[in-house]
Amino acid sequence: MRSPKTELVLFSLAGVAGFLVDASIVWIFTRVGVDPITAQAVAFTVAVTVTWLLNRRFTFAHRASPYWLREWLHYVAANSVGAVVNNGVYALLVLTIALFSKEPVLAVAAGSLAGLVFNFTASRALVFRLR
């Protein structure tokens, strides 16, 4: 069994892979004429599936469920809420604190960190929970 710290590192690495998949798909789709909203919808679906597979195989292998479809649906739901947390923190900071409105990349970092903490906690406690 892995320590929570090791799980967090592996979860973060899976998140980086997911970001690269997400950004690549959006970039490719928008270059061939797909609108950015549709491109992101497709990209998010693929990226969340990639991160689920990586986390299922490496981060939480000892916690993976034999009911993979249910597990995937729970993972997508949890990460969708995490995306709301991420963007909500970003918007709250940019709209309420001058430093963040002048330097929005700091708000991106704060939102990403909040989303990471939420997604890791939800994934560990709700999706890949010990049975």
Q: Where along the chain do its domains lie?
A: 4-127
Whether this model's pTM surpasses 0.85:
yes
What is the C-alpha end-to-end distance of the chain, expressed in Å? 13
Q: Are 41 and 22 in contact (CB under 8 A)?
A: no
User: DSSP state, 62?
Assistant: G
| Number of helices and strands in the chain (H, E) | 5, 0
Look at residue 43 in the predicted model and tell me its pLDDT: 95
Look at residue 42 in the predicted model and tell me its pLDDT: 96
Report CA-CA distances (Å) from 32 to 21, 27, 39, 122, 127: 17, 9, 10, 36, 36
pLDDT in tens, 10-60: 999 999 999 999 999 999 999 999 999 999 999 999 999 999 999 999 999
Has residue 131 got a pLDDT over 90? no
Quickly count: other Cβ atoms within 10 Å of residue 20's Cβ.
12
Q: Are 71 and 65 in contact (CB under 8 A)?
A: yes
Of the pLDDT bands very low, low, confident and very high (cuts 50, 70, 90), residue 130 is confident
